[in-house]
Amino acid sequence: MLSMNIQPATPKNIELAAVLIRDGKLVALPTETVYGLAADATNDKAVAEIYALKGRPQFNPLIIHVADIAMAKHEVEWNEKAEALARKFWPGALTLVLPRAQTSRVSLLASAGGDTLAVRCPAHEAAQAVIRAAGVPLAAPSANRSGRVSPTTVQHVHGEFGDGLALILDGGACGIGVESTVIDLTGKEPLLLRPGGITKEAIEEALHDILSLQAEGKGGGILKSPGMLESHYAPSTPVRLNVTAPRADEALLAFGPHVPSGAKCVINLSVAGDDREAAARLFAAMRELDSPEFSAIAVMPIPEAGLGAAINDRLRRAAAGR
């Protein structure tokens, strides 16, 4: 399907994206993790429009995208750990939660009224170019309606919003395929709020420190990262985890070379059992198998190592989600 608002990420269209953003419009753009729905983070009306279009609960704050460390320092109070992590992993799939800086002009709505901001410097060339051309930090949640699987291609984005967006910049399929890792650096100890594209192991090595996991905001505790609500990544078809014997009316989401038979349909995330390949294919596969044709999406066990942690996190949410 050819669509008017899907355009390749050429220099001309990157400039157009920046003009639209400065004018308060929303633009979908590629990042190395998933496609983002981007707006000028300093524009209250534009940020409000993100929440409205996504149908996102307003207590769930947005990630602020910057072009480099200097731009981040204008928005948040920097510290030693932030410096170490940004030097190692930026640009890249790592989001840092820090105290909002006095100098920040980011809309309070983007941080859901809180006194912290989540900042990330994306590695995708097109995202970098749009931020620099717009000259403002961009609020950019994943470009999907709230509660649905994140998009990793322009077709997914168009499937979510149709022609309701002024522009969907096409930068190809996202290389990583799961969202950024979110680390809270506001407390004494760094906290892992969301497993994602940069592994916990790599972050611990860079920090010379063990990452504590956030206690999930259940049972009356504070919800440190509201986006981690369990139902966040829900397809319409039920999801069944750790399946070794799929049923005849199920679709099988497989992993590795040894695939049990019996399912109606199989997508293998990685025949070689590679966590990176599996992450890059996860959301597209979930979209493809999300069909009334199947009684459930049966998922084979996937090892926790490396990006397996982020993959299993999204799958558990999908299974918990309806």
Q: Which residues contact 27 (CB under 8 A, 6 or more apart)?
A: 17, 20, 21, 37, 38, 39, 130, 165, 166, 167, 168, 169
Angstrom distances, CA of residue 244 to CA of 18, 21, 182, 261: 49, 48, 32, 9
Cβ at position 263, least distance to ligand TXA in Å:
30
Asked if 228 touches ligand TXA (CB under 6 A), the answer is yes
Contact set for ligand TXA, span 164-193 (CB under 6 A): 179-180, 182, 193
Rounded to whole angstroms, the Cα distance separating 308 from 292 reads 27
Q: Answer yes or no whether residue 107 interacts with ligand TXA by CB under 6 A.
A: no
Selected from 5, 111, 128, 152, the binder of ligand TXA by CB under 6 A is 111
| 97 near ligand TXA, judged by CB under 6 A | yes
Question: Minimal distance in Å, beta carbon 258 to ligand TXA?
Answer: 31
- Selection from ligand TXA, Mg ion, none that 224 binds (CB < 5 to 8 A by kind) is ligand TXA
Cis check for the bond before 91: say yes or no (omega within 30 of 0). Answer: yes
Number of residues that bind Mg ion (CB under 5 A): 1
Residue 59 or 205 having the CB closest to ligand TXA: 59
Minimum gap (Å) between residue 161 Cβ and Mg ion: 14
Q: Which of 14, 27, 63, 109 binds ligand TXA (CB under 6 A)?
A: 63
Pairing label, strands 116-120, 63-65: parallel
Nearer of residues 27 and 62 to ligand TXA, judged by Cβ: 62
* Cα–Cα dist 184/304, whole Å: 22
Residue 189's contacts (CB-CB under 8 Å, 6 or more residues apart) are 209, 212
Binding footprint of ligand TXA, residue count (CB under 6 A): 30
**CA dist., res. 230 & res. 55, Å (int):** 17
Closest distance of CB 149 from Mg ion, Å: 9
Q: Footprint of Mg ion on this chain (CB under 5 A)? A: 142
